[in-house]
Amino acid sequence: MVSFDQIEFAATPHLNAKQDDFAETILLPGDPLRAKFIAEHFLDDAVLVNDVRNMLGYTGYFQGKRISVMGSGMGIPSCSIYAKELITEYGVKNLIRVGSCGAVSDQVALRDIVIAMGASTDSKVNRMRFKDHDFAAIADFKLLNTCLTQANKSQLAVKVGNVFSSDLFYTPQPEMFELMDSMGILGVEMEAAGLYGVAAEFGAKALTILTVSDHITQNTHLSSEERQTSFAEMITLALQTTTNL
């Protein structure tokens, strides 16, 4: 029987891209089909660089700058695997999540763009990496500042603040939504706190930009087709941000 150590991976257990296939900056949507959509509609000369588990990853150019985009999967464990391998095995330095989220506040509406300055969570991952203490999972200031400057320049309204990264999409604690609203949570999603923890642990910069696809407390939703295709403003904001890094 062949042991795990004896298996020769093309690159990592989860990525079959060649050493310099990824750019220094990568956009990370949860959905690999959103990565394909971004590559096909927003990048020039995009080539597929990863297809392990159909977690499609591409590298191309935006306004002449080399940029990658890849799905990260759903949830902190999946996103953490890809973020860690991209940083430590491929030298990726800037990771920008472009995701969807649910809103819990009447001050936040469907299609709003939320930038996660920080991410609260019910996940234990950052306590695992921080000796059981509370680690403040925050965006990299340079990425955040560059993104906000770009949003202002584009006259694009964004909401900036705290989000909640949940381990369970189907939560057994719906009473949390009211508390989240009262504590200023702008959106509920499933990766930001983990992505920020991985970036801190392995020395990279990370930012999360979200589009509100569901209003949890108002029970309104974008269709799945809209979720995949209607995030143009957020994607453009993320890509324009990368040109100023």
Ligand X SMILES: O=c1cc[nH]c(=O)[nH]1
Give CA angle at 104 (76, 178), nearest 5°.
100
CB of 201 to ligand X, least distance (A): 23
Of these partners, ligand R1P, ligand X, none, which one is at the site of residue 29 (CB under 5 to 8 Å by kind)? Answer: ligand R1P
Q: Which stretch binds ligand X (CB under 6 A): 6-14, 54-62, 122-130, 188-196?
A: 188-196
Confirm whether residue 227 is marked as ligand binding.
Answer: no
Q: How far is the CB of 187 from ligand X (least distance, A)?
A: 8
Does the annotation flag 53 for ligand binding? Answer: yes
Instruction: List the catalytic residues.
Output: 214
Token duo for residue 220? 């309104």
Taking CB under 6 A as the criterion, the residue among 25, 100, 162, 241 binding ligand X is 100
CA separation (Å) from 224 to 125, 132, 170? 29, 38, 17
How far is CA 36 from each of CA 47, 63, 103, 132, 196, rounded to the nearest angstrom? 10, 18, 26, 38, 24
> 3 vs 14, which CB is nearer to ligand R1P?
14
Q: Which helix (H) or strand (E) holds 6?
A: none
In the complex, minimum distance from the CB of residue 236 to ligand X, in angstroms, rounded to a whole number: 20
Q: What angle do CA 135, 136, 141 make, to 5 degrees?
A: 135
**Residue positions in the annotated binding site for phosphate?**
30, 34, 53, 97-100
Return residues touching ligand R1P (CB under 6 A): 29-31, 74, 99-100, 169, 189-191
